[in-house]
Amino acid sequence: MVKYNQKCGVYSTSDVEERHITSQSLNNTSVNLKKTNFQVFEEIEYETGLDLNNIETPILDALENYSNNPSIPLHIPGHARGEGVFPKFRDIIGSKIINIDTTDEFDNLGTLHPATGPIKKSQELTAQAFGAKNSFFLINGSSVGNLALALTVTKENQKIIVARNCHRSVISGLTMTGAIPIWVTPEWKDEWEIWGTINPAEIEHLLNENPDATTVWITNPTYEGIVSNIKKIAAICKKRNITLLVDEAHGCLWNFHEKLPQPALNCGADAVVHSIHKTGGSFSQSSVLHIGKESKICEEELEANLKILQSTSPSYLLLASLDSARAYLSSEYGLKKVDAAVENAILLRKWLNSLPRVECLEPEGQNIAVDHTKIFLKIDGLSGKRLESILEIEYHIEVEAAADNGILVLVNIGNTKSELEYFWECMHSIVSSNYSDISYLNKTKYMPYYVPEMVYSPRKAFMSAKEKISTEDSIGRISAEVIAECPPGIPILMPGEKITEEHLPYIRRLKTINVIK
C-alpha cells in the first residue's frame, strides 16, 4: 500500500510487495526538490539476457525436487508440511514456505555435518565465489562462527590480541576457552563518537609486549563502515607466524565490486566470518565461515567444533538462502545490482552532504577507507536518537541504528531507486523544518570510549558465584556477564571487568546486573 505522507509531501510504502513509489507520487510532492538530480540513481531490472538459470544452485535444486515430489512425512518437522501449523501463522508466511520447511538427511538433501551432497557442493561454490580455501555454512549467525573459531584457535590462559570493538560472541568464545584477551583499542572518532580504525603499529607494539600471544582477532569494518588496513596487519602477523582472524560480518559484498574495500581473504587472513544475511541477501541468521587459502587453522578441528555448536536439525530454508545469495552475487544480474547499490550510495552520500546541517562520515586519508554502502550521517542540532525517531514516526523510515549524534543508513542490493529518492526528500524536509532536540530526556548513551580494568579473566568471572544487584549499586563491583547493546553487539562490560561510574550512562537501561559475589 502506498501512503501519502503529509509532513514530507511524498508517498511512502508499507507493503513489501508494493515498494516501488510511482513517478506520479513523486510529482505530487509539496517539498521543493530538484528531482532531475535523481535521474542517475540506478534501477536494475531483470533482463532475459541475464539468464540466472545457468547459475549452479545445488541446494535450491534439491529443495525444488523435494517440493515437487512430496511424500508422506513420517519424520521431523512435526508440522508435516504445514498440516500441524497454527492457521494464522500459515496465512502470514504462506503455505509454500511451510511446505518446504525441512532439515537435512531427507530426500537426497544432503547433510551439513559432515557436508555431503548438495550442501557440500554449495559450500565449494561459495568458497570459489569468495576466494576461500573452504567455506562452512552457519545457521546460527556469525556468532556461532566466532564461537567455533575460539574453540579451535584459542586455549586456556593463552593470550589473544583482540579489538576492543569486537562483537559479544568473540568474548563469549574466549569465555568458553579461558583465553586471556589483550585489548587493542581502535582510534576514537571524537567528532562522531564512534570507534575508528585499528593502527597496525599498535598491533605490532602489543605483539612485542606479548611475545607469547598466538592470535590477532579484529573486527573489520566497524559497524559504521570504517575500514582498517588489513593488508598491513596480515603482513605483521605472517612475519611472526601469528594467526589472524577477521570478523568481517558487515563486509560480505566486498569481493564483488572494485569500489568496495579489499576483503580480508584477499589480504592474508587465516579465517573470516561473513554475515551474508546482513548485506548479501540470505535469510536472517545465515552466515558463512571462510578459511583462507594459506590458513594455519586445522580445518578438521574447526569442523568438529562447528558440529558441537550447530543444530543437528539445520533449517534447509536457511541453507537454501545461502545457496541463493551466493548464486545471486556471482551472477551477471547480481553483480549489476551490487554495482547499482554502490553507485547509488555514492550519489546519495553526495546529495546528503549538499543539504544544510547534514554531514556524512567520509574517508580522511590514504590509510582510512569507508564502505560506500554504509552511510553514517548527522544533522547539526539533532541527536542520532532524535533523528531516528523523526524518520520512523513522521516518515515511516527505519534506519539501521542511531548513535549519540548520528544515524547509520545502509544502501542495500535490495533497495529501490524510489526508496532512496524518498529518503533524500525526507532528509531535505527535516533540515527545512524546525525540529527541536529532546536528547536530554534520554539518559542512556550509545557507545563508550572506555576500556575498564580487567580484574579476572572472562572465564573465571563467568564461572564464579554471582549475585544480582541494582545497576546504581554496581559501581566498584566486578561484572559477571557480557553487557552489550544490539546492534551493534559491542560489549560495554565484559565478565571480569570493574564497573565504574563512567559506565552508568551506558547501562542505565538495565535495572539489575550480575556481579561476582
Tell me how far apart the alpha carbons of residues 152 and 305 are, in angstroms, rounded to a whole number.
Answer: 7
CA-nearest of 426, 322, 283, 297 to 110 is 322
pLDDT digit string, tens, across residues 187-218: 988 888 889 999 999 999 999 999 999 999 99
Burial class (CB in 10 A: 0-12, 13-18, 19+), 346: middle
Place of cell 550512562: 505
Tell me how far apart the alpha carbons of residues 389 and 396 are, in angstroms, rounded to a whole number.
Answer: 10
pLDDT of residue 473: 92
Contacts of 51 (CB under 8 A, 6+ apart): none
pLDDT of residue 282: 97
Fold (topology level) of 2-46+339-436: Aspartate Aminotransferase, domain 1 (3.90.1150)
Task: Parse the chain into domains and list their residue ranges.
Answer: 2-46+339-436, 132-255+262-319, 458-516
pLDDT of residue 18: 40
- Beta bridge partners, 467, equal 515
Contact 345, 253 (CB under 8 A): no
pLDDT of residue 45: 64
CA distances from 490 to 91, 172, 192, 223, 381 (A): 37, 12, 17, 9, 27
Sign (positive or negative) of CA dihedral 345, 349, 355, 361: positive
pLDDT of residue 506: 82
Contact 377, 407 (CB under 8 A): yes
Fold (topology level) of 132-255+262-319: Aspartate Aminotransferase; domain 2 (3.40.640)
Burial class (CB in 10 A: 0-12, 13-18, 19+), 470: exposed
Beta-strand relationship, 466-470 and 512-516: antiparallel
Contacts of 478 (CB under 8 A, 6+ apart): 455, 456, 461, 496, 497, 498, 499, 515, 516
CATH code of 458-516, in short, is: 3.90.100.10
pTM tops 0.85: yes
pLDDT of residue 257: 97
pLDDT of residue 12: 43
All three cell numbers of 40, joined, read: 542517475
Per-residue pLDDT of the chain (517 residues; tens, 9 = 90+): 334 444 444 444 434 334 444 333 434 433 444 443 444 566 766 554 556 778 999 999 999 998 898 888 888 888 888 888 899 998 999 988 888 888 877 778 899 999 999 999 999 999 999 999 999 999 999 999 999 999 999 999 999 999 999 999 999 999 999 999 999 999 988 888 889 999 999 999 999 999 999 999 999 999 999 999 999 999 999 999 999 999 999 999 999 999 999 999 999 999 999 999 999 999 999 999 999 999 999 999 999 999 999 999 999 999 999 999 999 999 999 999 999 999 999 999 999 999 999 999 987 655 568 999 999 999 999 999 999 999 999 999 999 999 888 999 999 999 998 999 999 999 999 999 989 887 655 555 666 667 788 999 999 999 999 999 999 999 999 999 998 877 788 888 999 999 998 888 888 788 899 999 9
pLDDT of residue 474: 93
Beta-strand relationship, 226-227 and 134-138: unpaired
Q: How many residues does the chain have?
A: 517
Burial class (CB in 10 A: 0-12, 13-18, 19+), 51: exposed
CA-nearest of 389, 377, 502, 379 to 438 is 389
CA distances from 498 to 96, 185, 239 (A): 52, 18, 35
